[in-house]
Amino acid sequence: GQQLNQSPQSMFIQEGEDVSMNCTSSSIFNTWLWYKQDPGEGPVLLIALYKAGELTSNGRLTAQFGITRKDSFLNISASIPSDVGIYFCAGRSPAYGGSQGNLIFGKGTKLSVKP
Amino acid sequence: KAGVTQTPRYLIKTRGQQVTLSCSPISGHRSVSWYQQTPGQGLQFLFEYFSETQRNKGNFPGRFSGRQFSNSRSEMNVSTLELGDSALYLCASSLLSVSTDTQYFGPGTRLTVL
């Protein structure tokens, strides 16, 4: 089945640092979504991307839909303590034939504060 | 606008029992999807309901079932619980379709099977 490879699995940040994470797939997607999940809560949508090459910002967050439609990137600039959490990418495959365009999720990138 | 609500938030059951989880979507949203989240497998799609009909299904055994009511509220049922069913069960609502519309998640129901 379709799989998303999200990296890195985890990273430590120091306040003020920029953070980058990405997701890659072996198949194309027509939508990329980025979510953040805090402990004990459901994922919250951060950014949605609908077109190859699209670059979208939400405050200090910027995400890009890769030109090949097989990858996406999320950058967080000047990180702050409340950025800590788990970030998930999700890709939606084109709905054609019998496929209903399911959302496939990456395994997540866990952001923690450097001790 | 109120968000997606799920009840109960926490549940403890024993093997062999069955469980029913409830989800109320955002007002006006007609599509409700269910996901299972575990540390090992991540977020996995269970099924989607729209207009009281299951429209889309993931790769889970028949022990997992659901339904949707005319007010778009949805329930998910797991019968003959196994230890491996311990997970966070997330409900997400979207306006019309999981295939085209943005999904908004609820806080989840944490199910522990002993």
Q: What is the pLDDT of residues B48-101, one digit of tens each?
A: 999 999 988 888 999 999 999 999 999 999 999 999 999 999 999 988 776 667
- Sign of torsion, CA A6 A44 B7 B112? positive
The gap between the terminal CA atoms of chain B, to the nearest Å, is: 37
In this complex, is the C-beta atom of A98 within 8 Å of any C-beta atom belonging to chain B? no
pLDDT tens, A2-41?
678 999 999 998 999 999 999 999 889 989 999 999 988 8
Q: Which residues of B touch A108 (CB under 8 A)?
A: 42
Question: A104: buried, middle or exposed (CB in 10 Å: 19+, 13-18, 0-12)?
Answer: buried
Tell me how far apart the alpha carbons of residues B26 and A44 are, in angstroms, rounded to a whole number.
14
Using the beta-carbon criterion (under 8 Å), do B104 and A40 form an inter-chain contact?
Answer: no
CA distance, residue B58 to nearest chain A CA (Å): 9
